[in-house]
Amino acid sequence: MHTEINHPCIQHKLSIIRDQTTGHKRFRELATEITMFVCYEALKNVQTEAVEIQTPVAKATCHQIASDLVVVPILRAGMGMLDGILRLVPTARVGFMGLYRDEETKQPVEYYNKLPEVTDNQIHIVIDPMLATGGSTVATLDVLKKHGAKRIVVVCLVTCPEGLAKVDSSHPDVPVYTASVDDHLDERKYIVPGLGDAGDRLYGTR
């Protein structure tokens, strides 16, 4: 179950962030901007509650987010999206999931896990720029559900059919929101056309 956000502003920003000549400073800025657009859609059904406030003119009944939001970036590239979602919901709490890929088995291995306590009415938002093979995402969802998470959404910048199929087969109840569903994975397990290595491009490493 996935939603691809085809807003013209997102597509314009994708054209720039994909460009290999875009430097790490601009790449980080664009990752933040695209994340805000995608998360805007991903959070449209969060629960709100009515509150009464006093404007300079009169009392007004308004609505504030009632859901307990927990953002979970997958280290390290997921950190490049964190600022974007926290600009939308600055009261959200943040958990962290660290994974690396075993060079022999090619499977994700957890090396760090720091998650807030589970509460009622909680929504976990997993963020990672690239949902490629789906291995790290599925591993993170496994950990969150063992932790007690009931409602989870995944937000990424780009993905592909292989990654979506992996998540859907393992966690069909978890929706994925993305700016683009790209064509396929190549022999190196890179998304095509993709963005390249999002972590390296975010932080200027190789």
Of 129, 13, 31, the closest CA to residue 84 belongs to: 31
Q: What is the pTM of this model?
A: 0.92
Is the Cβ–Cβ distance between 147 and 136 less than 8 Å?
A: no
Checking DSSP bridges between strand 96-101 and strand 122-127, what pairing results, if any? unpaired
**What are the φ/ψ torsions at residue 8 (nearest 5 degrees)?**
-55, -35
Instruction: Determine contact, residues 143/97, Cβ cutoff 8 Å.
Output: yes
Half-sphere exposure of residue 199, counting CA atoms within 13 Å on the CB side?
12
Which of 106-115, 125-134, 180-189 has the weakest average pLDDT?
106-115
Residues 6 or more apart in contact with residue 203 via CB below 8 angstroms: 24, 76, 80
For the chain, what is the domain count?
1
pLDDT recorded at residue 106: 66
The arithmetic mean of pLDDT across residues 135-154, rounded, is 94
Q: CATH no. for residue 139?
A: 3.40.50.2020
Q: How far apart are CA 200 and CA 134, in angstroms?
A: 19
CA distances to 1, 8, 184 from 105, in Å: 28, 40, 22
Q: What is the pLDDT of residue 205?
A: 86
Mean pLDDT of 142-170: 96
The residue written with tokens 């502003």 in the block is 9
Please identify every residue annotated as catalytic: 101, 105, 197, 200
Tell me which residue range forms the domain holding 22. 2-203
